[in-house]
Amino acid sequence: MRKIALLTLLLLGCINLNAQEATLKTIGHKVASLGTFSCDVDFTTKIIDGDENTISGTMVVSGDKYVVKFKNFEVYSNGVSLWTFVPERKEVTIDNVTKEDAGLFTNPKDFLSLSSKDFEVKERLAISSLEGENENVLELNPKSELMKASVSKVFLKYNKSSLPERVIVDLLDNSIVMVVISNLEGHKIVTNQEFIFNLSRAKEVIDFRK
């Protein structure tokens, strides 16, 4: 009888875990189905028992192409080159986009969808918000060697449409990164030129491309 009960619990655990893994894949499919999308972002970095800094901006993403704009800097990528612009200094740095530079924060699309190739679900959490409503949150552990090198764990909050609303990343260097996504809109119509920085805005150009 005890063996049957134990097997039942193990089976239920596997079913529950498979459902959670399916949820992670669904979130990835939902992000992909948006095509070209835009959103507002609040990006917070915090050192444990230390300083906390939050910046707010906007983001437009189309596959491997994206543009992220904050008050103090802007980042453009057409999937081949990467431009980082500092408006205050009117300085732009240009570099190649390479696979060697790949990481969790390299591409906003990958960061928001959190591929099941890189992460596995530890558990699904039901957390009560300040408004008294349950928040859907997945706790993820890094799976790929690339993510294990820098990430301790990730908490992904998603809405009823299985779209991400908040991502909290615990890093191995004892820092935390939190990204809050709002006003997410898909199927935007933009030109490829949107993802290429206009060099006429810069007084100084630092080009590291080979």
Domain CATH for 61: 2.50.20.10
When pLDDT is averaged across residues 120-148 and rounded to a whole number, the result is 75
User: Over the stretch 161-194, which tens digit does the pLDDT of each residue have?
Assistant: 999 999 999 999 989 999 999 999 999 999 999 9
Residue 50 has pLDDT above 90, yes or no: no
When pLDDT is averaged across residues 100-115 and rounded to a whole number, the result is 73
Per-residue pLDDT at 21: 74
Q: Report residue 48 CA to chain centroid gap.
A: 20
Indicate the number of domains in the chain: 1
Mean of per-residue pLDDT scores for the chain: 83
> Token pair of 203, please?
């007084």
For 32-77, strand residue ranges (E) read: 37-47, 52-62, 65-70, 74-77
Q: How many CB atoms lie within 10 A of CB 56?
A: 13
Per-residue pLDDT at 4: 41
28 half-sphere exposure, CB direction, 13 A CA radius: 15
Q: Determine the structural domain holding residue 197 and report its residue range.
A: 2-207
Rounded to whole angstroms, the Cα distance separating 186 from 139 reads 26
Rounded to whole angstroms, the Cα distance separating 136 from 116 reads 18
Sign of the Cα torsion 62, 68, 69, 70 reads: positive
CB 98 within 8 Å of CB 104: no
Residues with Cβ within 8 Å of residue 87, at least 6 apart in sequence: 72, 73, 74, 201
Residue 2 has pLDDT above 50, yes or no: no
When pLDDT is averaged across residues 81-108 and rounded to a whole number, the result is 85
Per-residue pLDDT at 8: 31
pTM as predicted: 0.82
Per-residue pLDDT at 103: 63
Per-residue pLDDT at 102: 60
Per-residue pLDDT at 106: 75
In this structure, what DSSP letter does residue 100 have? G
Per-residue pLDDT at 95: 93
